[in-house]
Amino acid sequence: MTASPIGREIDRVDGRPKVTGAAEYAADHDLPGLAHAVVVTSTIGRGEILAMDLAAALAAPGVLEIYHPGNNLGLLTPPQNMPPPGMVENYAPLQDTAIRYRGQAIAVVVAETFEQARDAAALVTTTYRTDPPNTSLAANLPGEDAPGPLYNVSVLAPGVGSIDEALAASEVVVESTFHQPIQHHVAMEPHAAVAEWNAAGDRVTIHTGSQGTFATVQLLQLRLGLPAEAIHVICTYTGGGFGSRVPSWNDSILAAGVARRLGRPVKLVMTREQVFTMVGHRGQVDHTVRLGATRTGVLTAVSHDADAELPNVGGWLLVPAHDTTDTLYKTPNLHIGQRLVQLDLPPTWAMRGPNEAPGAFALETAMDELAVATGVDPVELRLRNYATVAPGNGKPFSSKHLADCYREGARRFGWSARRATPRSRTDGQWLIGMGMATAIYPGNRMPVSVSVELCADETAIVSTATSDIGNGAATVVAITGADRLGIPVRKVTARVGDSTLPPGAVAAGSQATASTVPSVLVAADDVVTALIDLAVTDPRSPWHDGARPVYANGRLHGGGHSATFGQLLTAVGRKSIEARATTQLAPETAERFEFHSFGAHFCEVRVNRFTGEPRVTRFTTVVDSGRIINAQAARSQLIGGVIFGIGQALLEHDPLELGTGRLAAANMADYMVPVNADVPDIDVHWLDRPDPHVDGLGARGLGARGLGELGAVGSAAAIGNAVYNATGIRVRETPITLDKLLEV
């Protein structure tokens, strides 16, 4: 009997190639005849190219060609009625002379070596007509009657005329305005692509990091004017995404365009600085949360208004109240008003908890302010306002054990030792504070196909075109296949990251596990049925024409015979047998329930009373995300999410130079992300209660919901709330840097 690997500590199936350097990321691919492309970018924020002097660059050693608006690549603009991510970028690179943002691609220099291309690119000089870019969020607010974006909500109790009336009638009101600055994904692997066309020039193979090979194919086909079958995307290994690899950016678009025109394979690697501008960033948001409550902290009105950056070149429709403020607490009156502000800035895109991380910082900070205003303990305040149905639409949750997350988190963390009054605990020059906040993220699912193949060599291959961006997706696939087939994980090969595999999940929206697991289960069951069919139909099988054998743990038994699947396949002269399954959530189930994952964060900080320096010293997170498939990967994802929260709360922002549209910290030296010294031991725990509805397979299912983004939601608020408890200073504009705490 093979013990089930589900929920155990399983090493990554791709761990060895990753730590030995054998794993090939996009830019590691080398091909015969490879040419190297380097992008030249605009140095103004808006205007037009008047002239480009290319003579010196063209004469430089090794230069093969320069593409620019006067010698363009014939790239196409996707239709603008496409759903995201088709909306970025809404023009074709190098097709015209317009400058839409600072850092936009204006030319590509191609040479025999990377160094030759880089040096020649530095010789290109460009003359512009410069127009003043609109870059200020506050100065470009849409009018009151401007069409709002998605997800505005208004729920009012009978007899209540408006949210303002509901707030005015509340015994206690908290009103706070928050600013979320521009942030960046900073994935380990810089964006890069290697493109190679076939001899006829009608099919292209692209190695590029991708969060979804199908999304990449879909966007590239629109850029290149090709049918989907003509594009093969391979991303066996991808060095992080956090949202930045959902759309296709100039690395893959230009590499494919240049390789087609040049008739040679082309490698294009963005510089780190280019990744900060040419790849979408997390947009800035100004948002105001107003909470009305009784004196005992029972919510009577909840309002969240947001103005978020939407670049004119397109980007993520950032709606921070969606799936946070519209879902989290019970309230008779709810108002969500979200607007987008169009600016001449580089594109934006979803970044880990794209709406939810900024949204939860605002809501969960405001809830802490309400706890202070009412004198109710922050955990108790959340329990008093616990939603058993979604407040926006009244639907029940598929599975919700958030109350136990609060209780278990408080117990593990030692919340009862907290003192409500700020500055009550000190240790020498350090002020010590504790804070908590809620985590919430949608329990998404999408249609996914998986194939399971049993092989004569006693191994199995589970294939699906999802991407393993470092999240452990390949290992989840292997574990689930091994569990259902009853064989060891090491006997299962997971194939992922290739658009020719069965259509798989995007590694986005925290949905790869929840979407892939049910399809692996069904495909595994189907291949076993096919194996048994083979056993009774093939004349060379010992079960031929007899009673159907029973399958267990990689073996068929019955009628006095026993054989492993490999032995049976060998006996009948087959190399393998395969089954393919597609599952998705039934529309009626999706309609009936609200699917969300939940969690509770608890944080201790120390703030230096002389320098204002904040340090996170303890962190406990307890989540409810259904069944856990791999304890090791789940812990790693949740810890990574909390580290994202540390960055959001204390370090990350890219200041914008309003006059020029320049992002002032668009490089890894100036943009601060947490390093090991910023991160304490993070205690992560989960309830491990299966979601009965998420698989749609009844008792056959495992009940796993996603958790990839969950840890990044609310963790920054827990830190900010702990800073307040330590110092009595409430910072509503992240990051909470020491200068904001100097009055300590």
**Which residue lies nearer to ligand MOS by CB, 133 or 353?**
353
54 binds ligand MOS, rule: CB under 6 A: no
Shortest Å, Cβ 282 to ligand MOS = 9
103 binds ligand MOS, rule: CB under 6 A: no
Stretch that binds ligand MOS, among 129-137, 240-248, 365-373, 414-422 (CB under 6 A): 240-248
**Which residue lies nearer to ligand MOS by CB, 243 or 497?**
243
Stretch that binds ligand MOS, among 348-356, 433-441, 479-487, 651-659 (CB under 6 A): 348-356
The span from the first CA to the last CA of the chain, in angstroms, equals: 62
**Which residue lies nearer to ligand MOS by CB, 85 or 292?**
85
The DSSP letter of residue 443 is -
**Which residue lies nearer to ligand MOS by CB, 243 or 720?**
243
440 binds ligand MOS, rule: CB under 6 A: no
Stretch that binds ligand MOS, among 65-73, 347-355, 579-587, 667-675 (CB under 6 A): 347-355
Map residue 706 onto helix, strand or coil.
coil
Packing angle between helix 250-262 and helix 213-224, nearest 10 degrees? 50
Can you tell me the distance from the alpha carbon of 138 to that of 115, in angstroms, rounded to the nearest whole number?
43
The residue ranges of DSSP E strands in 312-447, in sequence order, are: 334-343, 425-427, 430-442
Shortest Å, Cβ 327 to ligand MOS = 17
**Which residue lies nearer to ligand MOS by CB, 287 or 352?**
352
**Which residue lies nearer to ligand MOS by CB, 190 or 509?**
509
Token pair for 106:
């204006």
Shortest Å, Cβ 234 to ligand MOS = 19
Q: Identify the residue whose tokens are 């076993």.
A: 528
**Which residue lies nearer to ligand MOS by CB, 86 or 509?**
509
710 binds ligand MOS, rule: CB under 6 A: no
Stretch that binds ligand MOS, among 200-208, 351-359, 383-391, 734-742 (CB under 6 A): 351-359
Can you tell me the distance from the alpha carbon of 66 to that of 124, in angstroms, rounded to the nearest whole number?
10
Shortest Å, Cβ 509 to ligand MOS = 4
* Cβ neighbours for 44, distance < 8 A, ≥ 6 positions apart: 99, 102, 128, 130, 660
Can you tell me the distance from the alpha carbon of 390 to that of 410, in angstroms, rounded to the nearest whole number?
24
Stretch that binds ligand MOS, among 344-352, 596-604, 649-657, 714-722 (CB under 6 A): 344-352
Can you tell me the distance from the alpha carbon of 165 to that of 243, in angstroms, rounded to the nearest whole number?
39
Residue with the shortest CB distance to ligand MOS: 243
The b-or-e profile of 700-730 (16+ CB within 10 A means b, else e) is ebbbbbbbbbbbbbbbbbbbbbbbbbbbbbb
How many chain residues are in contact with ligand MOS, going by CB under 6 A? 10
Can you tell me the distance from the alpha carbon of 708 to that of 374, in angstroms, rounded to the nearest whole number?
34
**Which residue lies nearer to ligand MOS by CB, 45 or 320?**
320
Per the annotation, the verdict on 89 as an active-site residue is no
350 binds ligand MOS, rule: CB under 6 A: yes
Task: Tell which one of 180, 211, 348, 721 touches ligand MOS (CB under 6 A).
Answer: 211
246 binds ligand MOS, rule: CB under 6 A: yes
- Alpha-carbon distances, residue 736 vs 283, 295, 561, 615 (angstroms): 18, 30, 69, 11
Task: Tell which one of 45, 320, 354, 626 touches ligand MOS (CB under 6 A).
Answer: 354
Token pair for 127:
């003359």
Shortest Å, Cβ 266 to ligand MOS = 27
- Cα dihedral 127, 128, 129, 134, rounded to 10, equals -160
Shortest Å, Cβ 583 to ligand MOS = 21
352 binds ligand MOS, rule: CB under 6 A: yes
Stretch that binds ligand MOS, among 163-171, 254-262, 350-358, 593-601 (CB under 6 A): 350-358
Three-state SS for 452-511 is EEEECCCCEEEECCCCCCCCCHHHHHHHHHHHHHCCCHHHEEEECCECCCCCCCCCCCCC
* Cβ neighbours for 105, distance < 8 A, ≥ 6 positions apart: 39, 40, 41, 42, 93, 94, 250, 254, 278
**Which residue lies nearer to ligand MOS by CB, 193 or 446?**
446
Shortest Å, Cβ 397 to ligand MOS = 20
Q: Is 143 exposed, middle or buried (0-12, 13-18, 19+ CB in 10 A)?
A: exposed
Please identify which of the residues 273, 709, 733, 743 carries the catalytic annotation.
709
* Cβ neighbours for 274, distance < 8 A, ≥ 6 positions apart: 39, 41, 103, 191
Task: Tell which one of 106, 351, 452, 492 touches ligand MOS (CB under 6 A).
Answer: 351
Three-state SS for 587-642 is HHHHHHCECEEEEEEEEEEEEECCCCCEEEEEEEEEEECECCCEHHHHHHHHHHHH
509 binds ligand MOS, rule: CB under 6 A: yes
Can you tell me the distance from the alpha carbon of 476 to that of 494, in angstroms, rounded to the nearest whole number?
9
- Cα dihedral 677, 706, 723, 655, rounded to 10, equals 70
Shortest Å, Cβ 727 to ligand MOS = 32
C-beta neighbour count of 342 within 10 angstroms:
14
Can you tell me the distance from the alpha carbon of 559 to that of 690, in angstroms, rounded to the nearest whole number?
37
* Cβ neighbours for 565, distance < 8 A, ≥ 6 positions apart: 454, 458, 531, 551, 554, 555, 556, 577
Shortest Å, Cβ 354 to ligand MOS = 5
Shortest Å, Cβ 360 to ligand MOS = 14
The residue ranges of DSSP E strands in 6-138, in sequence order, are: 35-41, 47-53, 63-67, 98-99, 105-111, 125-130
Token pair for 502:
């069965």
Shortest Å, Cβ 83 to ligand MOS = 14
Stretch that binds ligand MOS, among 15-23, 238-246, 321-329, 590-598 (CB under 6 A): 238-246
Stretch that binds ligand MOS, among 109-117, 346-354, 395-403, 521-529 (CB under 6 A): 346-354
Shortest Å, Cβ 316 to ligand MOS = 8
**Which residue lies nearer to ligand MOS by CB, 406 or 441?**
441
The answer to whether 438 and 404 have CB atoms below 8 angstroms apart is no
Task: Tell which one of 243, 502, 640, 703 touches ligand MOS (CB under 6 A).
Answer: 243
* Cβ neighbours for 388, distance < 8 A, ≥ 6 positions apart: 330, 396, 397, 400
**Which residue lies nearer to ligand MOS by CB, 124 or 469?**
469
508 binds ligand MOS, rule: CB under 6 A: yes
Stretch that binds ligand MOS, among 152-160, 196-204, 241-249, 537-545 (CB under 6 A): 241-249
**Which residue lies nearer to ligand MOS by CB, 302 or 712?**
712
Pairing between β-strand 105-111 and β-strand 47-53 as defined by DSSP bridges: unpaired
**Which residue lies nearer to ligand MOS by CB, 116 or 348?**
348
442 binds ligand MOS, rule: CB under 6 A: no
Shortest Å, Cβ 712 to ligand MOS = 9
Listed residue (736, 64, 742, 720) closest to 367, CA to CA: 720
Give DSSP secondary structure letters for 134-177: ---TGGGPPPTTSPP-S--EEE--TT---HHHHHHT-SEEEEEE
Q: Which residues are catalytic?
A: 709
Binding site residues, ligand MOS, CB under 6 A: 211, 241, 243, 246, 350-352, 354, 508-509
